[in-house]
Amino acid sequence: MRKTCFILALVIFTITLAGCQPANVPSADTTAADTTAAEITSDTTVADGLVRIVTDGASDYMVLRADLASDTEVNAAVALRKAINETYGISMRIGNEIDAQPDRAIIVGNVNYGGAAEIAASLGYYEYTITFSGEHIVICGGSPEATQSAVNAFMDKYLSKDSGVLAVPEDLNDSYRPDTLATDGTIGGESLKKFSIYVSSTAVYAEKRAAQSIRSALREALGINVSVIDKGNVPADCAIIIGNVKNATSAGCDAALAACGDGQGLVYFEGTRVYITGKDTDATCRAVELFIKDCLSANRVKDGVLTVPTETLKVSTPADTYTVMSFNLLVAKESEPDRFNAALTQINAADPDILGVQECSVLWYEFLCAQLGDRYNVVGELNHTSTQMWRNAIFYKKDKFELIETKTQWLSATPSVSSRLSNENQYRILTYAVLKDVKTGATFAHCNTHMTIIEEVRESQFKVLVKLLGKLDYPIVMTGDFNTRENSQYYQKITDFGLYSAHVMTSANDPTHTVSSSTIDFCFVDPAHMGVVSHEVIDENVNGVNPSDHNAVVVKFRFYE
């Protein structure tokens, strides 16, 4: 499935640091001192202006890292020490700032010793420097990844098996700074380096994702690393506030938002506070996208400074929304006819554009086709023709969608034929329908499934599910009874693939359980292509009748253009 994002916020959010180096960072810098290891010999005529780190098989230096160093920084320090030892046949010590405070050290990262912390504080996220601080060599970057790149650069440039001496210029000053839009940015006259981004402690994933997208954008535009904070009080100045943060209210922003229509969001400036909010979570996220695209763009840069305009910005969401419903109908107890009418009542009340049902037996299928056939088309094969005989059927409004493609596949080693995994006692299936909105042209795949309850089968079955999803070259909405909870490793396989439960994509979510005391029924969406407006769990009976042992899930979402 394509994961190419077409909005700047999400493009920036998905930027990764390839390998062990930040983007655009070379493995070795040649812009400063140009003396390299190949030019240094092991005799006694080492050129003046060089400082010996290792000579005659000995060194009075040690490698020093921070006590609370990240794994990346620890690995970089260990790799440096190992490379020096193997190259020069010595046993250099390694330690942290708490255990050792040597007279001479090769300091790796943001260490609170020898002036390294002050040097690190001056660096942008992607920047690094290799320099002297007193008797110490400091190798650090504005991030752990940049520090690792600095270590790689140091090893590439100065370590050589052709020389018994490790020496560096006494005016050592190798550094790297990537090209950015500007050297600084301002809001209300204050440097963006002073700002932090704030979200609520109860913020949903979509809001946290939006906050991180601003953080990533500022790295790209300015090379600065601002913090995202979800605890404590928000300061009166220099704050970018995402969504509804309780201790950071603004009467002016509240009034401006109240004047907005449904689905609108805004970017509101009040001094050096920036409020980014909306009528719903999706509108808030779109306002974040607008802030990045408009306020942090190259045309805002003059004389190396990006000046953020402080006029209120408004954004509207698409008028078209889609309602999808997931409902496990309970194949057992089909002798209770009142359940059929109760389920139909809930379906009609939700009026979904698309309905994914599980445990849809022949009786349920015939009933729903008869009752919904005037408004809905349906797809989905039987899981087996002689036993169980239920479908993961997908009903879709015939006046809203054109069916492009549909298929039922088995969650087994042979998905194209009716089959099951060993140790599985049921024929588990995935049915999908590729649907095209006849009015807007929006095209996506609705997948519907029902996963195993057998622990020994879960790992293999979820692997098959994800593999089948990966073959779909469309944005995906997936409904189903997954028989697993949100904190499970199997749920995580779906989020690792790139789909997120709709309830973490909107603050308008219903925490009601879908079965007894837990939630195992989900509607997953693709956050790169969809914004969620609301998530609801229907836990009401109909005239005293519970239609199923599962509560239906109803989600409303929008497409990004």
Q: For 377-410, what is each residue's pLDDT tens digit?
A: 999 999 998 877 999 999 999 999 999 999 999 9
CA–CA gap between residue 295 and residue 291 (Å, rounded): 5
Burial of 64 (0-12, 13-18, 19+ CB in 10 A): buried
Residue type, position 443, single letter: T
Q: What is the pLDDT of residue 99?
A: 85
Q: Is the pLDDT of residue 173 over 50?
A: yes
Q: What is the pLDDT of residue 179?
A: 84
CA–CA gap between residue 337 and residue 328 (Å, rounded): 16
Per the DSSP assignment, residues forming a β-bridge with 515 are 518
Q: What is the pLDDT of residue 37?
A: 54
Torsion angle of the four alpha carbons 538, 540, 541, 542, in this order, in degrees rounded to the nearest 10: -80
Strands (E), 181-298: 184-187, 190-191, 196-198, 228-229, 239-242, 264-270, 273-278
Six token digits for residue 354 = 């698309």
Strands 390-391 and 401-410: unpaired
Q: Is the pLDDT of residue 265 over 50?
A: yes
Buried-state track 146-178, b at ≥16 Cβ within 10 A, e below 16? bbbbbbbbbbebbbbeebbbbbbbeebebbbbb
Give me the CATH code for the 182-316 domain, please.
3.30.379.10
Buried-state track 452-474, b at ≥16 Cβ within 10 A, e below 16? beeeebbebbbebbbebbeebeb
Residue type, position 156, single letter: D
Q: Tell me the C-alpha to C-alpha distance, in Å, between residue 127 and each of 9, 554, 555.
A: 23, 47, 44
Fold held by 25-176 = Chitobiase; domain 2 (3.30.379)
Buried-state track 522-531, b at ≥16 Cβ within 10 A, e below 16? bbbbbbbbbb
CA–CA gap between residue 239 and residue 72 (Å, rounded): 29
Q: What is the largest CA-CA distance in the chain?
A: 99
Chain-centroid distance of CA 478 in Å reads 19
Phi, psi of 10 (to 5 degrees): -80, -30
Within the chain, which residue ranges are assigned CATH 3.60.10.10? 322-559
DSSP string, 470-506: TT--S-EEEEEE-SS-TTSHHHHHHHHHT-EEGGGS-
Strands 196-198 and 239-242: parallel
Q: What is the pLDDT of residue 356?
A: 98
Architecture label for domain 322-559: 4-Layer Sandwich (3.60)
Residue type, position 328, single letter: N
CA–CA gap between residue 458 and residue 452 (Å, rounded): 6
Within the chain, which residue ranges are assigned CATH 3.30.379.10? 25-176, 182-316
pTM: 0.79
Q: Tell me the C-alpha to C-alpha distance, in Å, between residue 80 and each of 125, 135, 162, 363.
A: 21, 18, 18, 69
CA–CA gap between residue 535 and residue 180 (Å, rounded): 40
Instruction: Say which residues have a Cβ less than 8 Å from residue 348's Cβ, sequence separation at least 6.
Output: none
Residue type, position 513, single letter: H
Q: What is the pLDDT of residue 225?
A: 85
CA–CA gap between residue 461 and residue 236 (Å, rounded): 52
DSSP 299: G
Mean pLDDT of 521-538: 97
DSSP 234: P
Q: Is the pLDDT of residue 480 over 80?
A: yes
Q: How many other CB atoms are found less than 10 A from the CB of residue 440?
A: 13
CA–CA gap between residue 401 and residue 95 (Å, rounded): 64
Under the banding of pLDDT at 50, 70 and 90, the label for residue 131 is very high
Under the banding of pLDDT at 50, 70 and 90, the label for residue 9 is very low
Buried-state track 394-426, b at ≥16 Cβ within 10 A, e below 16? bbbbeebbeeeebbbbbbbeebeebebbeebeb
CA–CA gap between residue 95 and residue 114 (Å, rounded): 14
The model's pLDDT over 99-114, given as tens digits with 9 standing for 90+, comes to: 888 999 999 999 999 9
Under the banding of pLDDT at 50, 70 and 90, the label for residue 493 is very high
Per the DSSP assignment, residues forming a β-bridge with 365 are none
- In the chain, the percentage of residues whose pLDDT exceeds 90 is 81
Strands 196-198 and 360-361: unpaired
SS3 assignment, position 281: helix
The model's pLDDT over 21-42, given as tens digits with 9 standing for 90+, comes to: 444 444 444 344 455 555 544 4
- In the chain, the percentage of residues whose pLDDT exceeds 70 is 91
Count H helices and E strands in the chain, helices first: 11, 32
DSSP string, 52-67: EEEBTTB-S-EEEE-T
Which residue has better confidence, 513 or 36?
Answer: 513
CA–CA gap between residue 368 and residue 360 (Å, rounded): 9
Q: What is the pLDDT of residue 326?
A: 98
Output the CA torsion sign for 231, 233, 239, 244. positive
Q: What is the pLDDT of residue 34?
A: 55
